[in-house]
Amino acid sequence: MTTTDLTQNGHDFLVMQEASLDFGGGAGVFDLTFSLPPGVILGMIGPSGCGKTTTVRLLNGIYGPTGGEVRVFEKDPLKFTNGDKARIGYIPQHSLLYANLSAEENLHFLGGMYGMSSRERKARMPELMEFVELTEARKRLARQLSGGMQRRLMLAGALLHEPDLLFADEPTAGIDPILRARIWDNFRELRDQGKTLLVTTQYVGEAAYCDLVALMRRGRLVTIDTPAGLRRQALDGEGIHFQVDGSRALEVMQFLEGLPQVKRTERVPAEPDGILAFVEDAGEELQVLLATLKEHKGITPRVAEPYLPPFDEVFVRLIHRSEETE
């Protein structure tokens, strides 16, 4: 799916149109505009306090907007019926497990809150416990579970009533990378089952797991795009990484910048013989540039490959650009 496909579907589960919630003193979220079709994972990424949780709370009806419009399932979340609420699963930022209840009892409580009968809960629970890999720990008290296990138990609790839309507010916060990857595997599996997920995170690297990524800063949406689209935005196109003899690096850079298909070049920080050349389509231009270099300069770079910058770098570039625009 392209970015356009993902954000401008006619049957969006979730729409924010210039939605704002002003807490005063610069706090809140402002002019958020985006939409989300069913069956995708939207990752909301941004530093702490940028408005991710407030956005989630606007979407699930905890808060009402002070401006603009918020619609989920084509309804104002503040006017959700019980039926609408039952279509939503929610993992809040903080653990809401009851310490003196076992993992299973916590799930029974959460299922009961959604009106599921004991039989329904019992039928669904083994599958879910298996899904979050907590079958062995189901009798353990919540206070005896590790942080990662607690987050996975929260995930199971949010899925017990089989929601169509899942809001997960920083579900991987404070968890080691292996467990984080496991939780994202769970999310992707849910997406593959047709569920829609909105996941907030401070770990920018997790953007890679998402279908769409919304970058937030100071209560505003900097951009929303696919992970690849974000890279393109950050790099203003696509990058090609070359490694040449250090003594000729400057010469190669100047030559490449003179070519019409090359937008600009950069030295690779901490890599003396590394050069980055930015073009519209790296896959298309890579071979052309290699041939041109050999033909005109007699140089064959040691390395010539599409440049896939880590998302940390992508976000730093996007944030800097946003600051420059302001």
Partner 1 sequence: MKSAIIKAFAFLAKEFHDVRRQPRLLLSLVGGPLLVLAAFGATFQTANPFISTVLVWPEDGVPGIDQAQAEQFIGRNFYLTKVTSDREEALAMLDEGRVDVVQIIPDVTQEEAIAQERPQIEVYSRTVDPNLEGWVRSLAYGEMNFINRQLLAREAQVAQDKAREIDVSLEDAASQFRLLQENFDAEQIERAETQARELRLALVGFVDFLPPISQAQANLAPELTRIHRDTEILIDDLGEFEQVLASGEVATRMERLASTVDEIEALHGTVGEFVGVPPENIVSPVQETYRNLRGTPYTMVIFYTPAVLALLVQQLAITLGSLGLVRERQMGSYEMFRVSPLRFSQILLGKSVAYVLYVTVAGVILTGLLALLKVPLPVHWVQHLVLLILLATASTGIGFLISALSQTDSQAIQLTMLLLLLSIFFTGFFLPLSGFSWPAWIVGALLPMTHALEGFQDLLLKGDSVTPGIMTVLVFISLLAYGLVLVIMRRQYRRMAH
Q: Is 155 in the site for partner 1 (CB under 8 A)?
A: no
Taking the least distance from each CB to partner 1, the nearer of 147 and 283 is: 147
Gyration radius of the chain over CA positions: 23
Judged by CB under 8 A, the stretch of 32-40, 107-115, 194-202, 261-269 that binds partner 1 is 107-115
Q: Is 61 in the site for partner 1 (CB under 8 A)?
A: yes
Judged by CB under 8 A, the stretch of 30-38, 77-85, 129-137, 264-272 that binds partner 1 is 77-85
> Which secondary-structure segment (H or E) carries 201?
strand 196-201
Taking the least distance from each CB to partner 1, the nearer of 120 and 313 is: 120
Distance CA 307, CA 70 (A): 38
Taking the least distance from each CB to partner 1, the nearer of 190 and 207 is: 190
Is the CB of residue 132 less than 8 Å from the CB of residue 175?
Answer: no
The half-sphere exposure of 83 on its side-chain side, counting CA atoms within 13 A, is: 2
Strand bridging mode 274-279 / 238-243: antiparallel
* 10's tokens: 């006619």
Please select the residue that binds partner 1; options are 22, 31, 101, 263, rule is CB under 8 A.
Answer: 101
Q: Each residue of 93-105: b (16+ CB within 10 Å) or e?
A: eeeebeeeebbbb
Judged by CB under 8 A, the stretch of 10-18, 92-100, 230-238, 311-319 that binds partner 1 is 92-100
Distance CA 301, CA 242 (A): 6
Q: Is 98 in the site for partner 1 (CB under 8 A)?
A: yes
Q: Is 85 in the site for partner 1 (CB under 8 A)?
A: yes
Q: Is 68 in the site for partner 1 (CB under 8 A)?
A: no
Is the CB of residue 276 less than 8 Å from the CB of residue 241?
Answer: yes
Q: Is 116 in the site for partner 1 (CB under 8 A)?
A: yes
* Binding residues with partner 1: total (CB under 8 A): 31
Q: Please give the residue ranges that form the binding site for partner 1 (CB under 8 A).
A: 57, 60-64, 78, 82-83, 85-86, 88, 90, 92, 94, 96, 98, 100-102, 105, 108-109, 111-117, 141
